[in-house]
Amino acid sequence: MILSYLESMAQVGLAMAFGYTFGLGDLLSGRLTTVKHRWFPGADLALGVAAGALAIAMLWLSLGGVHAFWLVAIGTWALAGRLFTVGKLLMAGVLAGYFAWWGVTADNLDAPALAYFALAFPILTAAFAIAARAKTPTRWRALLGGKPSWPAFIVVFGYLAFFELDFSLLGVVWAFHSGTATVADEKHRAKLVSWGVRTR
């Protein structure tokens, strides 16, 4: 019981660190703001390695549903152009190797759940992206476009309802997006100056 609780806490902590590191990479690449930021030479590469290592550590403690979700999420983000920096491509390569190993060694690969994620997550991600870029400022645009994490949460709740009641999946997805949201917060970005993060 205690070991299971500690593993769950470790998963959430690693997912939050993964999201924070991922968000820092987005900040340096100019994805979070209109102004690009710089840190130290090779920061993008270092963040890619760190994000990959944190993600693998998180996945190592997780069940099959968490693996299936992140496999689809990384693939969807790659197709959407979210990983087109050297650091993010390195992270994706590291995770691709891990997922290949996981797919070969998994005792019971949940193909229906993987198919559900592979269908639902890209469709919802595309729908929300279209809503965010819509030219007409409608109520739906404000609702859908202002919540980039919503596709992930909708898909996760669908998984919990129809496949497996694995709350660890909800925990790690929430923690990841909390980490990225922290970097996106303007007040927190101001604190990063003390770390040496500057605008270009």
Contact 36, 195 (CB under 8 A): no
Instruction: Look at residue 1 in the predicted model and tell me its pLDDT.
Output: 64
Model pTM score = 0.88
Mean pLDDT to the nearest integer, 162-172 = 89
Model pLDDT, residue 192: 84
Mean pLDDT of the chain: 85
Residue 144, pLDDT score: 53
Residue 138 domain-assigned (yes or no)? yes
Q: How many domains does the chain have?
A: 1
Evaluate if residue 8 carries a pLDDT over 70: yes
Angle among Cα 43, 44, 48 to the nearest 5 degrees reads: 115
Q: What is the DSSP string of 119-160?
A: HHHHHHHHHHHHHHT-SS--HHHHHHHT-TTHHHHHHHHHHH
1 occurs within a structural domain: no
Report the pLDDT averaged over residues 9-16: 93
Q: Distance between CA atoms of 23 and 32, rounded to whole angstroms?
A: 8
Domain that holds residue 112: 9-199
pLDDT band at residue 185 under the 50/70/90 scheme: confident
105 pLDDT band, cuts 50/70/90, is: confident
Residue 77 in this model has a pLDDT that exceeds 80: yes
C-alpha span between 160 and 185 (Å, rounded): 29
pLDDT tens per residue, range 122-161: 998 888 777 766 655 555 555 554 566 888 999 999 999 9
In a domain, 3, yes or no: no
Q: Is residue 4 part of a domain?
A: no
pLDDT above 90 covers a percentage of the chain that reads 44
Interval 13-68: pLDDT, tens = 999 999 999 999 988 887 777 777 889 889 999 999 999 999 999 999 988 889 99
